[in-house]
Structure 1
């Protein structure tokens, strides 16, 4: 049995480990699905919808009911009737004053409300409340729209963050490929130099130069690997998956379209953004707040009906029921003294919101322009570095031939290769920056 377990374990260890490949689109979908910030934004939207439903109930009558029971130490109302002789009534009222016959009344003490139960119900229908009910419902609907726009902004922020981190990892992967090619070059060069050294054509110093370059390469590879690990851990947390070093990001940094294919005019771009709509809603909210404040100083009119049932729990007696309908009118008078200042304050807040709206729209236009400028600069930098890389390739080819023919020193060849590696890294960074700038430009233009 032990032998079988050992064989099974070896078989499992020999199975290939499949890397988890992700495209940028898959990564964005995972981020939207798993982001706790987006989940909270959706919950806030649902909460705003509940507030809207609650505000709608204010249109309907307000009903309330109450029950009360009591037991007093002493009756709340006492009546004391003294004892005495009472005239006997013979059927003629005129004879009462001169009655000759009397009946003795022993006296009595009566206590009322010693114990009782009271139940009541009241229904009030607001007829006019200074437009506060209507305005309150408008504010609740506006709040839902605000939360929906904030939810969209939260999604955009997560997508932007996801793409930035995605292209950062892809750039590291591309740099690793560059180092792999550099490693192959140094390996072949070491063999060539070592053979020449053994044959006595060169001194050991040249061999040491190659070895030093190989040592520096190992340090850079280790540094890049550690950077990739940290970047992948951060990326995994953003898209909501468990980190593993087997994650491979599939998309490359190739630039498929020129910036002009994404261009949109600034004014057209701004109105597509959720931030623009939030600014519009902020002005609308202050206007509704003014109406709500004004409603506090307008008459309040309502009609209602009320009923009650009173029972003193006296044996042989039934409880009493009564009811009424009523109308109420409340008119604030002295409140207008301070209210006019409150209304003026609210008007000033509306002006402030309008000024903020205009200023932020101007800033968003500048943001769109800067996004376009950054995108163009990144693209121009790619074109320039591509030309530089072609020159570096040619320079390396010439130096390789010259070294093989004994026309230049080894250090010149190593320098030419280092220039190519540096140029390739710069080109990779430029492409990564272009991808990030493109995402930013699409975001600031509402796309």
Structure 2
């Protein structure tokens, strides 16, 4: 974003005069002016006489006394030159205007990219967050199972002490309790690691005391997603990805206009302050000027460049049309994922209810002496797995719904 803004600021400077300064100092091993007096032909007037006439008069009046003598004129073997100029473009084929418009497009594109990155970060944060909530719910499920097994262990141990059942049944319950302890340890480590990942991603300082308010309650009503459905064809126009490719088409159009500007006449006006010291004398001058540049042979090259740019423009338009279709398919897939996750969650909740009822029946039969400890443990394991599955499906539903809502804005 900042880079695009700097590009815009740089393009804006083209509206103002270009000021430059130049300086030259030289020392020559030979004089720049080196000639014989007889050959002098300097058409410069000095007090109504040319330098050439003055030299010839001196030569004829005085050098005739020494006919074999020659006179050489040497001057300007060192000097200084410099100047400051300011040039203001009057007409540059519209390139300055289109260049600034192209920079504006760049800023808007950078803003859209930032929004896309923000949406991706939001979705990743949601996934990390709900992963922790899911693990917390699994931990609650394990705690509930541990409480159940503690009660069952007391019942089975009492029956064993009374000689009603064999020791093998007691060992089965104890083995199941140890299995839950192992799962509990893995889940607790998973919660700690997932919390660290979330804190690192969001920049929140990590702490063991962090609390997560959301829960997956088995008694909560699962709200259906139908209220969030919208027309994909209308929603696609609001997608940042589509807007980004639309800006790409506009950018190619501006580049085409800038290429056309290179084939147009270029008009500029300017002023300059000049200084020189070539003959041990300081001289200054101020000038104003105008320049007009008309490209002629460059039109040939410009024609090929325009043809190339037209190809780039058509390519950008094709990419936009292709993305339009892909975005519709993407939103359709996202909606399918949402509805599937919702239906899976509803089904998972039904299985939890059935598994709970199955465990209740198994316990009743066990207390009546009509079933074994193994069947009770199997029913408890089934309930635990069903609750795990419900938590997973409920979390997936929330994540899929978030992803869909981000797509349709």
TM over 0.5, shorter chain: yes
Query: Which of 247, 257, 264 is the matching residue for 2:223?
Result: 257
Deviations 1:191-250 (A, max 9, x none): 111121111111011011111111211221122223223322221111113333333322
Question: 2 CA distance for matches of 1:102 and 1:404?
Answer: 148
Match of 1:85 in 2: none
Q: Is the 8 A contact 2:8 2:104 kept in 1?
A: yes
Match of 1:66 in 2: 22
Question: 2 CA distance for matches of 1:445 and 1:436?
Answer: 15
Q: TM-score, normalised by structure 1?
A: 0.80
Q: Is the 8 A contact 1:273 1:445 kept in 2?
A: yes
Question: 1 CA distance for matches of 2:284 and 2:36?
Answer: 27
Question: 2 CA distance for matches of 1:366 and 1:196?
Answer: 62
Answer yes or no: is 1:221 the counterpart of 2:184: yes
- Return 5+ residue gaps in structure 2 as ranges: 39-56
Please state whether the residue corresponding to 1:247 is helix, strand or coil. coil
Match of 2:330 in 1: 367
Please state whether the residue corresponding to 1:238 is helix, strand or coil. helix
Match of 1:167 in 2: 130
Match of 2:107 in 1: 144
Question: 2 CA distance for matches of 1:434 and 1:294?
Answer: 54
Please state whether the residue corresponding to 2:208 is helix, strand or coil. coil
| Aligned-pair CA distance for 1:80 | 5.3
Match of 1:53 in 2: 9
Deviations 1:144-182 (A, max 9, x none): 000011111111111010001100110000000000111
Residues 190 and 355 of structure 1, relative CA distance in 2, 3 Å threshold: same
CA RMSD of aligned residues (A): 2.4
Question: 2 CA distance for matches of 1:341 and 1:215?
Answer: 78
Q: What pairs with 1:282-293 in structure 2 (closer than 5 Å)?
A: 282-293=248-259
Question: 1 CA distance for matches of 2:72 and 2:311?
Answer: 70
Q: Is the 8 A contact 1:283 1:353 kept in 2?
A: yes
Q: What pairs with 1:18-417 in structure 2 (closer than 5 Å)?
A: 45-79=1-35, 81=37, 111-253=74-216, 257-312=223-278, 314=280, 318-417=281-380
Please state whether the residue corresponding to 1:248 is helix, strand or coil. coil
Residues 209 and 256 of structure 1, relative CA distance in 2, 3 Å threshold: closer
Residues 193 and 287 of structure 1, relative CA distance in 2, 3 Å threshold: same
Please state whether the residue corresponding to 1:408 is helix, strand or coil. coil
| Aligned-pair CA distance for 1:323 | 3.5
**Higher mean displacement: 295-304 or 212-221:** 295-304
Q: TM-score, normalised by structure 2?
A: 0.87
Residues 76 and 103 of structure 1, relative CA distance in 2, 3 Å threshold: closer
Q: Is the 8 A contact 2:341 2:396 kept in 1?
A: yes
Question: 2 CA distance for matches of 1:394 and 1:78?
Answer: 119
| Aligned-pair CA distance for 1:403 | 0.3
- Return 5+ residue gaps in structure 1 as ranges: 1-44, 83-95
Q: Is the 8 A contact 2:76 2:279 kept in 1?
A: no
Match of 1:23 in 2: none
| Aligned-pair CA distance for 1:69 | 2.5
| Aligned-pair CA distance for 1:104 | 6.8
Q: How many residues are matched?
A: 384
Question: 2 CA distance for matches of 1:363 and 1:204?
Answer: 64
Q: Is the 8 A contact 1:392 1:420 kept in 2?
A: yes
Q: Is the 8 A contact 1:253 1:435 kept in 2?
A: no
Question: 2 CA distance for matches of 1:286 and 1:263?
Answer: 35
Deviations 1:25-69 (A, max 9, x none): xxxxxxxxxxxxxxxxxxxx1221121122112122212111222
